[in-house]
A = this chain, B = another copy of it.
Amino acid sequence: MNITASDLRHCSIAATLSLIGEKWTILILRDVLQGVTRFDDFLRRLECSPAVLSARLKTLTEAGLLRKVGYREPGERERFEYRPTRATVELLPVLIGLMQWGDCHMAPDGEGPVQVRSRASGKLVRAALVDEGGALVSPRDMQMIPMRRPEQESEDA
């Protein structure tokens, strides 16, 4: 993406997307949430170049979206695996939302190749909007309210 610094400061949507919107990144996150941890496994599943994969893993690690954990196979040198973090898990509503929107609006038959369910209840799960009390809110009922912050006001003088 490479959005300007000004955009990033003013819009968290753009900021987040500039991080996870790069090619392959979201697929890495998808895989790591499904239990993939090792370089070579990512490489085979994603079929991207090792250089790109390496770069993405680094960016994601620096951003706190992956955690690098050392391990050592008997007789081998230390290697690293990549694990999801709290921040990765907190991104799940976005991932699920992207997936389900795509299933509805881009898949020819309106359904995708992956189901999401609760482990506990087995029920299907979807991304939605809720209020502070946990009650569902319709997307049509949203309002976005820009909060003018004091620091930058001089700009529009």
Contacts and interface: CB of A to CB of B under 8 A. Distances in A.
A30 to B, nearest CB: 6
25 contacts: A12-B103, A12-B112, A12-B113, A13-B98, A13-B99, A16-B99, A16-B105, A64-B105, A87-B105, A89-B140, A92-B129, A93-B129, A93-B139, A94-B98, A94-B127, A96-B142, A113-B149, A117-B142, A118-B142, A121-B131, A121-B137, A125-B130, A127-B130, A128-B128, A130-B136
Q: Which residue, A19, A131, A134, has most C-beta atoms of chain B within 10 A?
A: A131
Interface string A25-36: 011001001100
Copies in the complex: 2
Interface size class of A (residues with CB under 8 A): 35 or more
Contacts of A125: 129-131, 137, 142
A98 B16 contact: yes
The prevalent SS among residues of A at the interface is mixed
Contact of A129 (B26, B127, B133): B127
A108 to B, nearest CB: 9
A2 to B, nearest CB: 7
